[in-house]
Structure formats: C-alpha cells, structure tokens
C-alpha cells in the first residue's frame, strides 16, 4: 500500500480493453504502471499520472498486482517469458481471453517461477468497465484473489469460480458462446429484413420489434424448465420453422448457413433420441445440405 492506501497496479497491454482497465485503476486512485508494445498508447495515462515501463519486466517489478490484457495466449506467454524472473512474488492476474488449458499452462509457468496466479475473464466491453453491468470471472489462487478483491472490484463485480485456474476461462467461453449465438441470430434477422425492406427499415426493426422479442425470449430462457419447454414447444414443432427460415433466406438472397447449422444440430439431437418425430422434409433438407 502507498500513501493513497490503494494497491499499486501494473497493467501490461493497452489495447482498447487494457487501456480502459488502466484508466479505471488510475481514476480509482491506484498508483499505476503501464507497458505496451506501442508505447504511445500510454501517453494520455502518463499525462494523467501513470508511470511508463520500458519492458514487461520493468512493469512487473513495479507493483505487487500485475494485470495482463493482451491480444491472445501466444503473445501473453511470450511477454511473460521475456520478463524472466521479474514476476516472482507478484500476483499475476491474466485477463487475456484463453481456453481453460491455456490458463492452466500459464498457471504452471507461474508455479515454476514463484508467481501467484489468478486467471480471469472480462464479461464487459470497454465502455461498460467500472459500471454496474460489468462483471469479471476469476479462478486460481483464492488467497490472492481475496487479498486483491477490492482493487479488482473497481473494474466490475468480481466472481471467484474456483481454484482450478481453467475455471474462469471455461465460464467465460460459455458466456461468450451464448453471446455469439444470439449475435448471429440478430445479424441474420437484420439481413432478412434488409433484403426485404432496406437498411433503414432493418435498423428500425432491430431497435423495436427485434429488441423486445429477444428480451421476452430471454426471460423465457431464464426460467426454462426443459421438460415443460419440450412439451409446450417441441422440436418437431420448431423444425419446420427453421426449414421456413432457410427457404425464405434463400429466396431473399441471404446466406442460409445459420438456419442450416441449427437444423443439422436439431436433427442430431433428435437422432440421439431426445425426441422422436421430425417431419420427413427435414431429413430431405439436411440430406441436401450435406
Ligand atoms: N475489447 C473487448 O470488447 C473485449 C471484451 C472482453 C475481453 N476481451 C479480451 O481482452 C483482451 C484484449 O482485448 P483488446 O480489446 O484490448 O484488444 P486490442 O485492442 O486488439 O489490443 C491488443 C493488445 O495486445 C498487444 N499485442 C498484440 N500483439 C502483440 C505482440 N506481438 N507483442 C506484444 N503485444 C502485442 C497490443 O499491443 P499494440 O498493438 O498496441 O502494440 C495491444 O496492447 C483479448 O484477449 C480480448 O479477447 C476484450
């Protein structure tokens, strides 16, 4: 702790997310050191009081709590390795998106180098950081997480997912999967309306009907009882609608891949024995799609 009584923090990586994390720590009164491959991205932070490190090693040496937020696992691994023993005795919180196994690999590197490791996943976009909708997932060293919970909380609500360092990454990817699935559906819906009525109508449609439809469906999914759902909206009722989406997309010149994939998945579920009736037309269509 310093005179400000706030833990000094280092942020390595000042892309759009890393820069936002850094400025959020600075605004919350944490003494801040930063490093970025392109040093100019730190200029405004330095002007606001942050220290600029010349290397990842110098950055790691500056603070007990070191946040890494880089483009991917390979770059993170290289940046850590380049720092040699500079991370020893530090708490390293890696917020770079990764797989559970990649997180465990960094945890093993940390263990071999005297580094205390917490892996993390950011469930927010840069403008949301520090606001009420922002939350972050953490896993790994529980004691270190507890010790730095208050500092980490300035970014968003912290959730500890377990001592397996891969746990946060697993939950992060599960949440992203939900998001990408929803985003793909939204993009397809917009494309259909754009093809039919033009971009202005599609924009209006997205902000009104599509939004309220998704909100209503989210509240249905949130309380979903699988058995009740299967009874009220069984797959053999859903499948023809997907076939219709596929055919209407084709007719409008919109690539029908999304509906085709969903239809194939639905067929796999049915073939695995989870329900017993699918109209024969679906077999034909899935067969034609290969
Ligand atoms: N931005 C977002 O909405 C999401 C929200 C959820 C979490 N993600 C993850 O955060 C990680 C970083 O994302 P980002 O948005 O900051 O990404 P970029 O703006 O592309 O910045 C990338 C940083 O990585 C540095 N970098 C790239 N290659 C190298 C390299 N070979 N050596 C050293 N550093 C490298 C790059 O440096 P520079 O280009 O500025 O010099 C940036 O600092 C990511 O895992 C998201 O999935 C963000």
Closest atom of ligand 1 to 13 CA is: 43
- List phi, psi (to 5°) of 117: -115, 130
Nearest to 277 by CA among 226, 240, 248: 240
Please, which residues bridge with residue 66 across strands?
10, 92
What spacing in Å lies between the alpha carbon of 68 and ligand 1's midpoint? Answer: 10
For the Cβ of 192 lying below 6 angstroms from any atom of ligand 1, the answer is no
41 lines ligand 1 (CB under 6 A): yes
pLDDT at 161 over 90: yes
Domains of the chain: 9-171 (3.40.50.720), 224-289 (no CATH)
Q: Label residue 273 by pLDDT band (50, 70, 90).
A: low
The torsion angle over the Cα atoms of residues 148, 150, 152 and 156, rounded to 10 degrees, is 160
**pLDDT value of residue 240:** 79
**Assembly ipTM:** 0.99
Nearest CA residue ID for atom 30, ligand 1: 75
Q: What is the pLDDT of residue 282?
A: 54
pLDDT at 274: 61
Q: Do 118 and 86 form a contact (C-beta atoms < 8 A)? A: no
Distance CA 288, CA 43 (A): 57
Would the CB of 13 count as within 6 Å of ligand 1?
A: yes
What confidence tens digit (pLDDT) does each residue in 99-130 have?
A: 999 999 999 999 999 999 999 999 999 999 99
Q: Residue 255: which of 170, 188, 181, 184 has the closest Cα?
A: 188
CA distance 252 to 257: 13
Q: How confident is the model at residue 275 (pLDDT cuts 50, 70, 90)?
A: low
Alpha-carbon span 268 to 54, nearest angstrom = 54
Check pLDDT > 50 for residue 277: no
Predicted pLDDT at 276: 47
Per-residue pLDDT for 155 more than 70? yes
pLDDT in tens, 244-258: 899 999 999 999 889
Q: Please check the confidence at residue 2 and state whether its pLDDT lies above 70.
A: no
Higher-scoring residue by pLDDT: 240, 162? 162
* Interval 130-159 mean pLDDT: 98
**Is 60 exceeded by the pLDDT of residue 290?**
no
Return the higher-pLDDT residue of 50 and 257. 50
**Which residue's CA is minimally distant from atom 21 of ligand 1?**
15
DSSP element (H, E) containing 144: helix 142-152
| pTM as predicted | 0.88
């Amino acid at each position: 702790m310093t005179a400000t009584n706030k833990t000094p923090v280092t942020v390595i990586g000042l892309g759009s997310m890393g820069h936002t994390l850094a400025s959020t720590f600075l605004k919350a009164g944490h003494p801040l050191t930063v490093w970025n491959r392109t040093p100019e991205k730190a200029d405004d932070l330095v002007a606001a009081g942050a220290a600029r490190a010349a290397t990842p090693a110098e950055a790691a040496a500056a603070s007990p709590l070191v946040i890494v937020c880089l483009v991917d696992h390979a770059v993170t691994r290289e940046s850590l390795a380049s720092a040699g023993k500079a991370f020893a005795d530090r708490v390293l919180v890696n917020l770079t998106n990764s797989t559970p196994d990649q997180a465990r690999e960094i945890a093993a590197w940390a263990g071999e180098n005297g580094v205390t490791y917490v892996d993390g996943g950011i469930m927010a976009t840069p403008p949301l950081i520090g606001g009420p909708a922002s939350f972050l997932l953490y896993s790994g060293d529980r004691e270190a997480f507890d010790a730095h919970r208050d500092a980490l909380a300035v970014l968003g609500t912290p959730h500890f997912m377990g001592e397996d360092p891969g746990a946060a990454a697993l939950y992060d990817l599960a949440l992203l999967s939900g998001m990408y699935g929803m985003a793909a559906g939204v993009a397809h819906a917009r494309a259909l309306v754009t093809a039919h009525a033009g971009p202005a109508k599609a924009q209006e449609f997205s902000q009104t009907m599509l939004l309220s439809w998704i909100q209503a469906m989210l509240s249905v999914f949130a309380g979903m009882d699988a058995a009740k759902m299967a009874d009220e909206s069984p797959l053999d009722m859903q499948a023809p609608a997907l076939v219709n989406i596929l055919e209407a997309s084709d007719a409008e010149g919109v690539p029908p891949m999304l509906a085709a994939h969903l239809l194939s998945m639905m067929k796999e579920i049915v073939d695995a024995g989870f329900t017993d009736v699918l109209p024969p037309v679906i077999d034909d269509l899935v067969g034609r799609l290969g």
